[in-house]
Amino acid sequence: MHDSETDLRARDLEDSDARLMEMLAAQAAHREVDSLGADEETIAADEKLTTAEKRDVLQKSLNMAASNGDVERVRKLVNGPAKSYVDVNMPDEEGTVPLIYASCFVGDPYRFACVVWLLIWTCSSTTMGLWACRQKELY
């Protein structure tokens, strides 16, 4: 291997490691929001919260639920009263969408498939869903 190829490979690994650290940090921030204890319906109906606050909290909840493979919570977020406050294609502050969190962190193939199905059914984008399944070698 040439020195330039070795340098490129080393940079790619550094970039991958840095990106993983960013995703883990974002996941930790989402976990803080998750610890508020309120469910999706309560947050969506809370008249004291602005629309922007509801979107922020519920979007972070969606990212966390997707990351954890929490099928029931993802279903509630994309199909329940919170659905008008979440966007399955919305990247978080680190540039990561819920589907990517699921792809990176959900180890159980059944949970992963259910989360992916809910996310792609909601956004009608099969391209991202197929990409995620290929990453997990499910398709």
CB neighbour burial string for 62-99, b if at least 16 within 10 angstroms, e if fewer: bbbbbbbbbbebbbbbbeebbbebbbbeeebebebbbb
DSSP 20-40: HHHHHHHHHHHHHHHTT---H
Domain ranges in the chain are 3-135
pLDDT at position 134 over 60: no
Kindly indicate the confidence band of residue 48, based on its pLDDT and cuts at 50, 70 and 90. Answer: very high
Res 20: pLDDT: 66
Which residue has tokens 């490691």? 17
Model confidence pLDDT, tens digit, residues 66-95: 999 999 999 999 989 999 999 998 998 888
State residue 139's pLDDT score.
44
pLDDT of residue 82: 94
State the amino acid at position 26 in one-letter form: A
Confidence of residue 109 (pLDDT cuts 50, 70, 90): confident
pLDDT bin (cut points 50, 70, 90) of residue 119 is confident
Place of tokens 């995620």: 132
- Rounded to whole angstroms, the Cα distance separating 53 from 58 reads 8
114 or 10, which is more confident = 114
The verdict on pTM exceeding 0.75 is no
